[in-house]
Amino acid sequence: MSPNIRFPRCWSFPPTTKSHLLISLCIALVVLLLSRQVQPVQAVAPVDGYLLTGSLLDSQTQPIAAATIEVVTAVDSTPLAVTESQDSGEWSLVIPEVPSQNFQVTISRHHFAAQTLVIDNDARAQLANSGIYRVGSLTLHRQIDASFWVATAVFLGVLLLIAFEKLHSTTAALTGLSAVMLATFLGEAVWEPLYIFSFERALHYINWEVIFLVMAMMIIIAIIEETGIFQWMAFQAYRLSRGHSWLLVLVLMGVTAVASALLDNFTTMLLMTPISLQIGLALGINPLAFIIPEVLASNIGGISTLIGTPTNILIGAYADIGFTDFLANQTAGVIVALVAAGGYVIFHYRAEWRKASGGISPRLYARLQQNASIEDSAALLKAGIVFLLVLVGFVVGEQYHIVPAVPALIGATALLIWLKPDINAMIKAVDWTTLVFFMALFIVVGAVQEVGLISMIADGISRLVGSNLVLAIFVMVFGVGTLSTAIANIPLAASMLPVAEFLTGSVPGGSSKVLYYALSMGAAMGGNGFLVGAEANLVTAGITEQAGSPISFKEFLKIGLPVTYLTLLVGFVWLLIRFVW
């Protein structure tokens, strides 16, 4: 249940609670800053002994981390030295002395075939003379075992549980996480082929930048939404349209798209649906003629910024794409897509626009005005200033390699200090269920990455597109877009990120990161296809159901599917103009 956040003149909460949240935010900030300073450990010259170094790659030339590298001699089975490869795939180990005979470097890792490298006389001589020998890059080949099928089944099971609403999304993701960990436990204790990854390795897949950015934005949005600014904008749209309902829907779509670029789609629709429903009913028009276009605009509008959709937050953190990158590379395409969607909406609901009754009673108008009034203009001003500074922080931070979570956390903290909201309500405003969902999902997707499913998909797409960038963009926009009509776009985007990374490295021209933008467009625009395509669609249907104006699957499909493919086409052409032609 959502909290009601108020801005009291005096403190009405335990100071310890406030301190805890502020301390937590500060710690989060420091952790994030420090995490950016720590560089991957590279091979370093030994103080005592002889240094062996090398690097490990998979068949897609991606680095392999957490592989065990051992030096063994023919005379003694006890390893002379043992190490693990780093995230960069690099490894280095020090042996106290150069063995008198040839010796071996063995490399082993779960889900890959083990390799043995013989260090011959020449290599030994080089090691003895210079104190260092670089083995070079080795390619390890994937090995499909029982863990592959377990992880794949768990991943698909989670997707199905979410799609068919058999379990709450967070419960589904946690179930998947538990199944993956259980398989690993059984792998360690009973049958090794079941082993997927260690708990430490699983935690490695959680993207903390995403978690902290989402958490900080929740606090900021919770304060901004309470001011009533978005409802006020909707009411102004109603006033300015002067009874022209076709104009009103276009303005409402615009307002929704802008709101969605700054908030997430789900929150945008929670804010826009009730007020739009009231406007529609007051005008004597089917309110769905306003609300469904708003949902479509919300799913499209969010694409233009880093914080507009959870999928963009994922993509930004994964591929190091910043706020201005999204703005510069997506916005024009998004505007054209919105214009195309708006045109289709006007055509689709053409009969509705003639039904407008022309005016509403003074009592209803007054009520509408009251429901759409600015609740706290002082809070709005302060929150607006801080939000603007956070956006500036995103832009400036890119120059100094500061991740977006940092300005967002600073902004959230500043609002807590400046506005002094009820801290208990603020803690409740952070939707921990969502954060847990993200963490569990990262681990489930990490499991299929670990066992090689994602590599297999990437290989398949790579074979399909070859070195054709246009075809790769097409597959990413329309393929992901089509999948996203039915599959929840967050897990879809999370699982497609390594695929986009591989194609970015393998397809000529991909280094512009165009395939990540294609993924962003496909995942978000595809959500417009079916009612079940995005949570924003479903929650809107839930609200309209409460008001006796339910959205049927068929009704949504009739407008959603054509708009999906129309906007995907616009997005595809835009990406070609921006990156290829």
Q: Binding of other proteins at residue 169 (CB under 8 A)? A: yes
Of 130-138, 199-207, 492-500, 544-552, the window that binds other proteins (rule: CB under 8 A) is 544-552
- The answer to whether 442 contacts other proteins (rule: CB under 8 A) is no
Among 145, 264, 352, 450, binds other proteins (CB under 8 A): 264
Site residues (CB under 8 A) for other proteins, limited to 106-165: 162, 165
Give the contacts of 316 (CB within 8 A, at least 6 positions apart).
Answer: 306, 322, 323, 325, 326, 404
Among 76, 188, 192, 545, binds other proteins (CB under 8 A): 545
* Contact in structure between 301 and 272 (CB atoms under 8 Å): no
Q: Which is nearer to other proteins, 129 or 546 (CB)?
A: 546
Instruction: Say how many Å lie between the first and final Cα of the chain, rounded.
Output: 49
Q: How far is the CB of 218 from other proteins (least distance, A)?
A: 5
Which of 96, 120, 144, 168 contacts other proteins by CB under 8 A? 168
Of the pair 215, 465, the CB lying nearest other proteins is at: 215
Per-residue DSSP letter, 49: S
CB 220 within 8 A of CB 415: yes
Amino acid at 261: A
CA dihedral 30→31→34→35, nearest 10 degrees, is: -150
Amino acid at 347: F
Task: Kindly tell me which of 273 and 413 has the beta carbon lying closer to other proteins.
Answer: 273
Residue 239: CB minimum distance to other proteins, A: 16
Count the site residues for other proteins by CB under 8 A: 58
- Residue 417, strand partner residues: none
d(CA 250, CA 228): 21
Q: Does the protein bind other proteins through residue 543 (CB under 8 A)?
A: yes
Closest listed residue to residue 412, CA positions, set 310, 326, 307, 299: 307
The rounded distance, in Å, linking the Cα atoms of 230 and 372 is 8
Q: How far is the CB of 266 from other proteins (least distance, A)?
A: 4
Enumerate residues 180-209 that contact other proteins by CB under 8 A. none
Among 146, 181, 549, 557, binds other proteins (CB under 8 A): 549
Alpha-carbon distance of 217 to 230, in angstroms, equals 16
Best CA proximity match to 394, nearest among 502, 337, 313, 336: 313
Q: Which stretch binds other proteins (CB under 8 A): 76-84, 88-96, 261-269, 460-468?
A: 261-269
Q: Which helix (H) or strand (E) holds 301?
A: helix 288-301
- 369 is a site residue for other proteins (CB under 8 A): no
Coil, helix or strand for 115?
strand
Between 50 and 437, name the residue whose CB sits nearer to other proteins: 437
Question: Smaller CB distance to other proteins: residue 73 or 286?
Answer: 286
Q: Do 473 and 575 meet the contact criterion of CB atoms below 8 Å apart?
A: yes
Binding mask 509-538 for other proteins (x = CB under 8 A): --------------------------xx-x
> What is the Cα–Cα distance from 208 to 197, expressed in whole angstroms?
19
Give residues with Cβ within 8 angstroms of 477, minimum separation 6: 518, 521, 522, 568, 571, 572, 575
Residue with tokens 């170094």: 53
Task: Tell whether residue 371 is a contact of other proteins (CB under 8 A).
Answer: yes
How many Cβ atoms from other residues are within 10 Å of residue 567's Cβ?
A: 28
Helix axes 208-226, 432-451, angle to 10 degrees: 150
Q: Which of 363, 399, 400, 463 binds other proteins (CB under 8 A)?
A: 363
- Rounded to a whole number of angstroms, the minimum distance from the CB of residue 370 to other proteins is 8
Q: How far is the CB of 361 from other proteins (least distance, A)?
A: 6
Residue 536 to residue 528: CA distance in whole angstroms? 10
CB of 312 to other proteins, least distance (A): 14
User: Which CB, 269 or 518, lies closer to other proteins?
Assistant: 269
Is the CB of 53 or the CB of 540 nearer to other proteins? 540
365, two tokens: 């108008």
E strand or H helix at 118: strand 115-119
Is 441 or 461 the residue whose CB approaches other proteins more closely?
441
Candidate segments 97-105, 126-134, 217-225, 342-350, binder of other proteins by CB under 8 A: 217-225
351 is an interface residue for other proteins by CB under 8 A? no
> Binding to other proteins (CB under 8 A): which residues in 274-333?
274-275, 277-278, 281-282, 286-287, 310
Q: Given the complex with other proteins, which of 3 and 562 has the nearer CB atom?
A: 3
Indicate whether 544 belongs to the interface with other proteins (CB under 8 A): yes
3-state secondary structure of 454: helix
Output 395 or 539, the one with its CB closest to other proteins: 539
Number of neighbouring beta carbons within 10 Å of residue 239: 12
Among 53, 92, 170, 245, binds other proteins (CB under 8 A): 170
Q: Phi and psi dihedrals of 402, rounded to 5? A: -95, 125
Q: Which stretch binds other proteins (CB under 8 A): 378-386, 388-396, 415-423, 429-437?
A: 429-437
Task: Identify residues 48-107 at the interface with other proteins (CB under 8 A).
Answer: none
How many angstroms separate the CA atoms of 109 and 201, rounded?
A: 13
Nearer to other proteins, 158 or 503 (CB): 158
Pick from 90, 209, 225, 422 the residue near other proteins by CB under 8 A: 225
Interface with other proteins (CB under 8 A), residue from 226, 352, 398, 501: 226
The secondary element (H helix, E strand) that includes residue 268 is helix 265-283
What is residue 373's DSSP assignment? Answer: S
Whether the CB-CB separation of 299 and 266 falls below 8 Å is answered with no
CB 214 within 8 A of CB 310: yes
Q: Which residues bind other proteins (CB under 8 A)?
A: 1-5, 162, 165, 168-170, 173, 214, 218, 221-222, 225-226, 264, 266-267, 270-271, 274-275, 277-278, 281-282, 286-287, 310, 361, 363-364, 367-368, 371, 429-431, 433-434, 437, 490, 535-536, 538-539, 542-550, 552
